[in-house]
Each structure stands twice: as structure tokens, then as C-alpha cells.
Chains A and B, each alone.
Chain A
Amino acid sequence: MQTLLEKAFVEPFQRLAEQLAAVVPALVSLVVILLVGGALAYATRRLVQRLLQMVRFDQFVAESGLAGTIERARLFRSPSDFGARLAQGAVWVFVILFALMAMPSEMTQSLVVRFVNYIPDLLAAALVLLLGTIISKFLARSTLLAAVNAQWPAARLIAGTVRVLVMLLAVVMALEQLRIGQSALLLTFAILFGGIVLAAAIAFGYGARDLAREWLQTKLRSREQETEETFHHL
């Protein structure tokens, strides 16, 4: 009778107690890590925001033309707020990884190791995309201004094409960095890029030959007219 009682009640309780003894410290440390990590992430956000404001990051982003993109997203108050929240997010990712490492499970630990190994690629891809966005906006605006001041009729179309092509290149580079469909992507990009250039050439030279002729004539005419002008601006 006593053996039955032990087998039926005491042993399960003992096993539960043993398991709890093994898990509870991990859970407690998880909670502590998350609480401390949350505070750390918040402090990081405030600190980064202060630092970005000190180095006039908002002004720099406004000059690069990215401020409009951030404002249009309507998620962040300013570029420095965006940067600060990005830093907060990064701290949170590390806190969660650290917390998962505290769990006594092989699966979570292997997951964390794989994720950590992937972080450099993720960061590189994010950087490529960020640079791609900045460069594409800057080049598109330079092209637009040059085209408008040269009085090219399709100035916006040209600038838009420049922007799309540069972004396309950045996306392909980022995906390659993430090792997603490397050869297929490269092939697709080459075909797409070549196709766009070829299509543009055919459209301009054949499909829109009247427009091409008219445009060239206008260009030549305006060059002649410019040289006819004899006044000095200064």
C-alpha cells in the first residue's frame, strides 16, 4: 500500500519538483534578462537619440533626401527617432538571444547559434539596402536637375529610371548577401537590366522614332539658339 502511494503520488511530485528545480532558475533568469535588457534597450534609445541630435543627424538626412521617406512612413517622429528606435531594436534582439541562451534546451541554443552566425550577413544586407536607398535618391535628384537644366523633355522619367535601376542593383546585392537564390537572382537581374536597356533603346529609336527625331531636333535647335544668345549672366 505504501509503495503504491509512493508510486502514485510522491514520485510524480518528486519528478515535477526536480523538473521545476531545473527550469525555474532558467525562467527566473529569463525574466531578469528581459527586464534588465528592456531597461538597457530604452536607455540605449534615449542615448542614441541624444547623440544623433548632437551630431545634427536630422539635418544630414534631410540633405541626403531620405527625410521625406522616413516622414512618409509616418512611424517615426524624425530621422534621429528612427535611428534611436533602430538601436533599441538591435539591443532587444541581443537581449532575446541572450535570454534564449539561458534556456536549458538544445534546440533553442542551436537556433541562437545559427541566428548569431547569420547576423553579419543580415547587417551587411541592411547596409547595402540603406546605401542603395541613399545613393539612388541622390543620383535620381542629380539626374533630374541636370535633365531639367538641359531642358530634356523626359527629365522625370530619366530620373525615375535611374532610381529604379540603382535600387534594383541594391536589392540584388542584398539578397545575394543573404544567400537567397544567388545564381537565379543574378541571372534574373542581368536579363532584366539588359532587357530594360534594350527596350529603352528600341522604344526610343524605333517605336518612338518621331519623338526621338523631334527631341534631337529640339536639342540641336536649342544648342544653336544658345550660341546665338550673346548676353552675359554675370
Chain B
Amino acid sequence: MPQRLRASPGKETVENFLPSHLIERLAQIGEADIVVGIPSYNNARTIGHVVRACSAGLAKYFPHRRSVLINSDGGSKDGTPEVVLRTELEAESLLLVAPQRLHPIQRISTAYHGVPGKGSAFRTIFAVARQLNAKACIVVDADLRSIAPHWMDLLASPILDREFDFIAPYYLRHKYDGTITNGIIYPMTRALFGKRVRQPIGGDFGFSGRLAARYLEKNVWETDVARFGIDIWMTLTAIAEGFRIGQSYLGAKLHDAKDPGADLTSMFRQVVGSMFGLLETYEEIWKNVHSSEPVPMFGLPFDVGVEPIHVNVERMIKAYCQGVRDLQEIYAQVLEQETREGLLACSRLSPTEFRMPDELWVHVVYEFAAAYHRRKLDRQHLMESLVPLYLGRTASFVLEVQEADAAQVEERIEQLCAVFEAEKPYLRKHWGVEAGKESSHANPA
């Protein structure tokens, strides 16, 4: 039963969305140095491994720190919370040492309150971190197969020992993987906010207790941030509000195999829509950023093998062509004539020759971002109408890099980022058409 209680002296009121049994448990624990949060929904198959890796990491790298592992669950039907609570650490066989902890790792599994989604699960984790006065907080996905104990060290140590506030992950991924990241989110984060955070929506982050408290102050929990928009929101909030940012090399990122084609539209809308929304919130920040810089990197980069990936390019091109043909009226409200002609020209290319030039793609993204800001169309419709164009761009990228190795692909993404940075005045121009009138109405998060 959610309730509002008074916390211990020196702390603010306990969040009113935390269930009473959790508040009691937190009161028993008192304080913690590290909080590890695992959001979940029907992840019984994989979460045991994640819990073991986190517990092993905390035992090995932070034996003298008080640690709490919290699973924030969305009402799983497959016994995910039970798996979290009964998973054995087997420290001796895992770490080859006998555990010498002053404080046992506390393990909690709780159902979160609010809009169903990853963001709401994170909100509960932030609240727990604040309630326990945690110095560092780590969040990791429940479906990770490649998580290892040293991830705890890489995500928490820069915060505990070097006063960083936000540590983003840096993974090696298959060249076709993470196409929203590579095609939109990373280049825009870099071009607009000036920080080269390679995986801004990686999902596995480390952050300071004070940043967790700052996140909780925001009123975004009824928006797409409460769903898949949480990752980009956390990253951009940390960057835009001047928190100290770093990234840690975590090796490969392997997920549980789910149907990746399922509900791409809503996932895309939540992530990219949240990013466009943040451009309004932090308009005065990004308008004054003129270049980008690398962020400090922790961990030793090493080569890893990645799993082979199957991509159906033909289906993507077909989706793109249908979008260009059937959504003409919508695009006429959003895109410039020249951009529409460019898209039309691409749709006439044969599947083998299909390419979408970087500049055209950047103009599409910037014009959509400006249209989102100027509310040219219902925002949900606007984001959904971008999906076919994104699939076209993804198909073009896959065709372009099919013979390339990892380094060449990274170089290719760098080229795209350079175009995003060079074309930033184009966004300013489109954004600013009514900026004088509208900037005062920017939606504060």
C-alpha cells in the first residue's frame, strides 16, 4: 500500500510511491554505500545470472562497502522476484576466495508503482538510493547474458573514488546492432550536447546518489520517460545539468533473445520522442554548444566476439518505400520540399543500390525534431511517421557496411556524427522559426 512516511532525521519524506513493506525494510537497513538496481518483467530465465554477477562483483570489489541489491519488478508472472531472492552467490567457486564481508549484501525484490515501464522501475530504484543515502547507484538490465562481476567495479568505482556522477557503458556490439543508438541517439547527443557518450541508451549505468536525488526531483513520471525513454533522459539530464560524466568499457553486450521486431514503433516513439522532448527542456544548453569532446573512459578495451545477427534489409526497404508513398500528406506538413524529393529519389532506387545519404538523413531528423518542438502534428503521430524513414536509413547503413569490419563501421558512424555536428545550424534555423515566440513555453521537466 503506497504511503507517505517521515524518514529519519536529515532526510526528506519517503517517496509516496514506495510500498509500506519496502519502507519498513529500508528503515531496517538504514544506510548503504552502493545500491544495485535491476528492473525486470518476466526475466526469470536470465535474472539469476545477473544477480549472481552483481553479487560476485560487490563481494569482490567492494567487500567493505554496505551494498543493497534491489529488483524493481513490473508484475512478472514467471517467478522473477522468487529467482532474485533465492539465487545463491556461490562466492567461493565464483571468486576463488572465501567471502570476507563486514556487511552482507541485502537483497530486496519489490513491485514498482506507476506507469508500467522501465522508467517507473528506475524511479523506485532512485528512491531507494536516496532513502538509503547511497553514495553510488548502479542499474543493469535483467536480460543480460554478458554481464560479469567486474562491471560493478567499472560502473561504481569512478563514482566512489573519483567523484564522477554518471558512468555510461561502452560496449562492443555487432555492426548491425543498436541502430537507433548509432543512427540517431549517439550522433544527436554528441552534436547537440557536445559529449561523445557512445552508448547513451545502453541501459547499464552507474550514477552518484546526488544525481539519483536530482532525477527524483523531476516531474516526468507520467511521460515516455517512465517507459523506454528513461535511458536517454538519464544521460541527457546528467550532461545538460553539468554533472561529471564518464564511460566504462564493459566488453560485449549480449541480451536474452526476444522478438526484436515486436513493437518497434512504440519503443522508437518513446526513445526518440523523449530525446526530442529534452531538446525543448534544455534548449538554452544545446543552442550554445558548438563542438564535441570525448568523455573520460575507464576500463581496458579488449576485443570480444559478438554473436552473428540476421537483418532483413528487403523488408526494411519495403517499409520505407510504403512510408514515402502513403505518408506523403504527413511529410508535407513536416519536411521541406527538398528533403521530400530526396526521400522520393531514394525510394526509386533498386534494393541493391538503395542508399540514403547522411546529409538527407540528418535533415530528416532535424526537421522532425523542429516539427516536434513546433507541434506541427500530434506528437505521437509525428514520431510514428518517422519509423519508416528510420527503417530506410537502417537498411541503407546495413547495405553500406556489409563488407566492413568493426573499426570501419565505427569510422562510418564517426562520419555520420560529423555531418550531424556540421548541420547543427540547420536545426537552429528550423527550430528558430518561431523560437522567439515559443522558447518561453518550453516544457520544464
Contact = CB atoms under 8 A, between A and B. Distances in A.
Q: From A63, A142, A229, name the one whose CB has the most chain B CB atoms within 10 angstroms.
A: A229
B264 A233 contact: yes
Contact of B323 (A148, A228, A230, A232): A148
A60 to B, nearest CB: 8
A146 B383 CA distance: 12
B326 A144 contact: yes
A231 B377 contact: no
A156 interface: yes
A10 to B, nearest CB: 73
B255 interface: yes
Interface residues of B, number: 50
Given A145-B385, A155-B322, A229 B312 contact: yes
Given A62-B377, A64-B378, A233 B326 contact: no
A149 B384 contact: yes
A231 B264 CA distance: 12
Contact of B180 (A56, A138, A234): A234
B178 A233 contact: yes
A65 B329 CA distance: 11
Interface residues of A, number: 31
B178 A234 contact: yes
Interface stretch (B12-20, B159-167, B265-273, B423-431): B265-273
Given A62-B376, A229-B260, A151 B319 contact: yes
A20 B181 CA distance: 85
Interface stretch (A27-35, A104-112, A167-175, A219-227): A219-227
Nearest to A142: B381
Interface in A44-85: 56, 59, 62-65, 68
B6 interface: no
B261 interface: yes
A222 B262 CA distance: 12
Contacts of B181: 234
26 contacts: A59-B375, A141-B378, A141-B381, A145-B381, A145-B384, A145-B385, A146-B384, A148-B327, A149-B319, A149-B387, A153-B322, A225-B312, A226-B261, A227-B259, A229-B260, A229-B310, A229-B312, A230-B309, A231-B309, A231-B311, A232-B178, A233-B260, A233-B264, A233-B267, A234-B201, A234-B203
Given A62-B377, A148-B319, A232-B178, 5 more contacts: A56-B441, A59-B375, A65-B378, A230-B260, A234-B231
